[in-house]
Amino acid sequence: MLETGGQLKIFPVGRLLLAALLTSAIVWILGCGGIENEPPTAPAGSVSSGAVEEPAVLEEPVRQESRPQTEFALPKRPAREPTDPPGEDEPERRSLADLLTKDELRGTADPGFGAEPMRPEFLRQPLKIDDQAVAREGVRKLQSKHLTLYTDIPSSPRVDELPAVFDRIFPQWCDYFDLDAAKHEDFHLTGYAIRDRQLFRRLGMLPEDLPPFLHGYSRDYEFWLYDQPSDYYRRHLVLHEGTHGIMYLLLGGYGPPWYMEGMAELFGTHLREDDKLTPRYFPQTKEEVPHWGRVKIIKDEYAAGRGMMLERIMQYAREAHLNKEPYAWCWAAAKFLDEHPLSREEFRRCRSRVRSFHFNKHLRRELADVWPQLSEQWQLFVENMEYGYDIQREVVQYKPGESLPVGGTTVTVAVDRGWQSSGIRLEAGTRYEITATGRYQVAAQPQIWWCEPNGVTIRYWKGKPLGVLRGAVRSDKPDINKPSELVSQNLVIGLRQIVTPAQSGTLYLRVNDSPAELADNAGQLSVHVVAQ
């Protein structure tokens, strides 16, 4: 390259060399394994992709440290999204890749950053393996239609079935990402499930040019993972890395870091029932997902005053995934947005935008009308995180409050749903009497638990009797940069309560129960509100 007349000119040979260097550098820096590894200084024995081994005993609550539980780490809103290109009012910041023309850029940049999909000639092909030679060294070859897996892990049904598991999930990947499975019937990855690292290194199956990693790494048509202490988490890693391969090779990109890892965690988290495998599963108990630990991480982080808002998660840089916590937050964000009725449709359309610099900005724009409600319900999701959290039943039922008629009014509250608007507006400084009546079911096992508005005092949820009537006065115009009143207010109504709200707003009601245990509730109660 020569600089003449103030302009940088790139000769054809230089362009090819520069493209090669960029390809190598970007794959090294942006490869999914490099993102998802924990630091080399992590203690020996830690499990892959931020896994956490949860104890078999009941977890003790983590003490609050620096902030109250209702406070979230709210982001300082940047001038633009970190992954977005400069706006019209900003000076353009050019990089080395910007010097290449569009045609030269094809195949040299990670498609997750705006380039077109990489052409096959720019992708590394799988290592050439002498199957007989590695077999003599104790490395077995397991093969299915879509996955070849080399491993030295001793034979067992749960290990030997991994390629078949991959095949079973492949149509579900295609369905979710809107891919024609028949068109991609020849899609194939090669994986290496490693117990003895030195053996794979000596056989040339663990290349020297891979960056150091503790758990899993995906690159082009191959992925590597180290053996895990549970069959579940070994399968989880195969599906996690497989999702990276599907997105990169068939969609042409990953999207921003939170989406890339969130989607891999979403598909990696699965339920196995006999021959049926269900990805994108919300675990009902920790026993279903040994060594996964995402729910525990979020509960511990929130209890320590480090609850994260969606905006903050969407700003994750690539190096954030050198730690285990971002995996939990990215899984939670992806699971919440993928399942919540306010965001589900638009979030699933994101698959078509993984090559865009504007991924985050476009998603926020499309969800702008419902973003305040999503932010509020995300706070509830994090505050009440539990295995089996029922996102659908916990959807807040919004309705603007109207002035209370003379003599008051009576409303009904469903006991198998989360927060519900009463449709009643309460005025600041006015005294109200709220009374409740009714008999309803709050559990079905081992027999029906009948309950009245004062709750069942032989069992508690969040320090309050199970089934007790709770209330909150929600502002008409909530500030999304502050904790929601549905999170911060702690009003127990029970059979009767006198309320004098400090602010005007709509009265919201619910019975006190875990978001994981609403499905076995039945019935409703009546609530009468009158101004005094």
Mean pLDDT score across all residues of the chain: 82
Strand 147-151, strand 140-143: pairing = antiparallel
pLDDT band at residue 480 using 50, 70 and 90 as cut-offs: confident
Residue 153, pLDDT score: 98
> Would you say residue 94 has pLDDT above 90?
no
pLDDT in tens, 357-414: 899 999 999 999 999 999 999 999 999 999 999 999 999 999 999 999 999 999 999 9
> Would you say residue 93 has pLDDT above 70?
no
Domain ranges of the chain: 402-531
pLDDT band at residue 446 using 50, 70 and 90 as cut-offs: confident
pLDDT band at residue 145 using 50, 70 and 90 as cut-offs: very high
pLDDT band at residue 453 using 50, 70 and 90 as cut-offs: very high
Q: Which among 22, 26, 33 is positioned nearest to 222, based on CA atoms?
A: 33
Q: Is 376:396 a contact under the CB 8 Å cutoff?
A: yes
C-alpha 257/C-alpha 31 separation (Å) is 11
Report the first-to-last Cα separation within the chain, whole angstroms: 83
> Would you say residue 496 has pLDDT above 70?
yes
C-alpha 110/C-alpha 126 separation (Å) is 19
Question: What torsion, rounded to 10 degrees, do the Cα atoms 282, 171, 52, 341 define?
Answer: -30
Single-letter residue type at 106: R
C-alpha 302/C-alpha 69 separation (Å) is 6
pLDDT band at residue 138 using 50, 70 and 90 as cut-offs: very high
| Cis amide bond preceding 86, omega within 30 | no
pLDDT (mean) for 180-199:
97
Sort 330 into a burial class: Cβ within 10 Å, 0-12 / 13-18 / 19+.
buried
Architecture of domain 402-531: Sandwich (2.60)
Strand 402-403, strand 420-426: pairing = parallel
DSSP category for residue 318: G
> Would you say residue 500 has pLDDT above 70?
yes
DSSP category for residue 520: T
> Would you say residue 65 has pLDDT above 90?
no
Bigger pLDDT: 275 vs 161? 161
Residue 320, pLDDT score: 83
C-alpha 513/C-alpha 267 separation (Å) is 29
Residue 17, pLDDT score: 41
> Would you say residue 520 has pLDDT above 80?
yes
Gyration radius from the chain CA atoms: 27
pLDDT band at residue 477 using 50, 70 and 90 as cut-offs: confident
Q: Is 495:527 a contact under the CB 8 Å cutoff?
A: no
Residue 471 token pair: 């209330």
> Would you say residue 214 has pLDDT above 50?
yes
